[in-house]
Amino acid sequence: MAGEKVMSGNARWSLDGKSVFHASECTLSLSRATKERSTKDTDGRELAKGIKSFSLSSSHLVVYGSDGLLTNDFAALIDIFNDDADTRIVVVFTPSEADKEYTLEGEGIMTSLEGNFVNEEDGTSSLTIEGGSMTKVPVPVIP
């Protein structure tokens, strides 16, 4: 890895046109189900590609009573978690590097939300959004 850049990244997501969160830490997991195939001619185990999915978990500081547009408003998170509408959350994983060449984008639903509020310390929260496949989207080159 000598001379290679180490990648860092951030998760950003929005719902109903509002960018609700900028994570301070995130984990992106991509997975694919497989189907096992065998026939009388199969010599061993054969796998076929199945459905793709992602799970994006993130942690962040939270605030109380913000504008709910660009800050980490915990009340807005509760509203999104409790929303039973079919509207999906737009998720973007963005490499932090200024010369990034792509982002990963997808849509999903919030499957978990956790708050940690310790006396005389900053409140934090963690959440997980799960969905189908993510798409690699090229970042336009600005001359």
Residue 126 belongs to what domain range? 10-31+49-138
Q: How many CB atoms lie within 10 A of CB 23?
A: 22
Q: Three-state SS for 120?
A: coil
Q: Give the H or E element holding residue 86.
A: none
User: Do the domain assignments include residue 94?
Assistant: yes
Domains contained in the chain, number: 1
Closest alpha carbon to 110 in 17, 18, 23, 15? 15
Residues 6+ apart with CB under 8 A from 2: none
Whether 43 is covered by a domain: the verdict is no
The first and second tokens of residue 57, run together, are 């978990």
> Taking a C-beta distance cutoff of 8 angstroms, is the pair 108, 127 a contact?
no
In a domain, 20, yes or no: yes
Query: Predicted confidence band at 61 (pLDDT cuts at 50, 70, 90)?
Result: confident
CA distance 68 to 90: 16
**Residue 3 belongs to a domain:** no
Tokens coding 1? 């890895």
Residue 4 located in a structural domain: no
What is the tens place of the pLDDT at every residue in 78-121? Answer: 888 888 888 888 888 887 767 778 888 999 999 999 988 888 88
The rounded distance, in Å, linking the Cα atoms of 106 and 90 is 6
Confidence of residue 67 (pLDDT cuts 50, 70, 90): low
